[in-house]
Amino acid sequence: MPPWALDRHPQPLFTERLILQPLGPEHAPALFAALRDPAVYDFIPERPPTAVVDLEARYRRTSAGPPDDAERWWNWAVAGRDQPETPFGTVETSISRNARRAVMGYVFGSAAWGRSWAFEACSAVLVYLHAHVPGTPVEAFIDTRNVRSVALAERLGFERVETLVGADYIKGVVSDEYRYRLAAAGSAGVRSAKARSASRSSR
């Protein structure tokens, strides 16, 4: 298989209120502070970080990218444009060359909830994905109890396509997941994201 021409690393994105910077170990100290709240992890199979060095190691690994050419990991640290050095969340994507799909996940500190920042950031990422990998559907997997995340996915234009019973085991409880899917470029959801986002890949 010839080398994949798709960039290994994403570009920074800008919206009206936010800056999304390619996620790296330099973001670990601020994100450690933002993501320590246990409430952030009520519906995801992770626990709050216990040390900055652990986040640094994780972000260093993911920023290096996968070991082969079958995937791209495009991940961003999300911050306010007025405080770009203090990110409060992440949007992470995995783009599969063979499966011809992307999977998107997001996590935001509880201080960022209720401000539509997650919607603004995810909209910018969707615009970027559909500009650089047109025709690629985007999927998200969400715990059925996670009302906030379900509402965000549906506001972004994702459609619920499957319920995965017993998909995970979170904090001692067997959990079900919804699989959401956003169709390829040209869908209503992507047009909505383009209309609402002021993102651009250079500034």
Count of the separate structural domains present in the chain: 1
The contacts of residue 77 (CB under 8 Å, 6+ apart) are: 20, 21, 22, 23, 24, 27, 30, 31, 87, 89, 90
Report pLDDT for 51.
96
Domain-embedded: residue 99: yes
* Domain, as residue range, for 45: 13-196
Report pLDDT for 195.
43
Tell me how far apart the alpha carbons of residues 67 and 147 are, in angstroms, rounded to a whole number: 35
Are 117 and 78 a contacting pair, CB within 8 Å? yes
Average pLDDT score over the chain: 89
φ and ψ at 23, to 5 degrees? Answer: -70, 130
Mind listing the pLDDT tens digit for each residue in 35-86? 999 999 999 988 999 999 999 999 999 999 998 889 999 999 999 999 999 9
Residue 124 belongs to a domain with what CATH number? 3.40.630.30
Query: pTM for the whole thing?
Result: 0.89
Report pLDDT for 182.
96
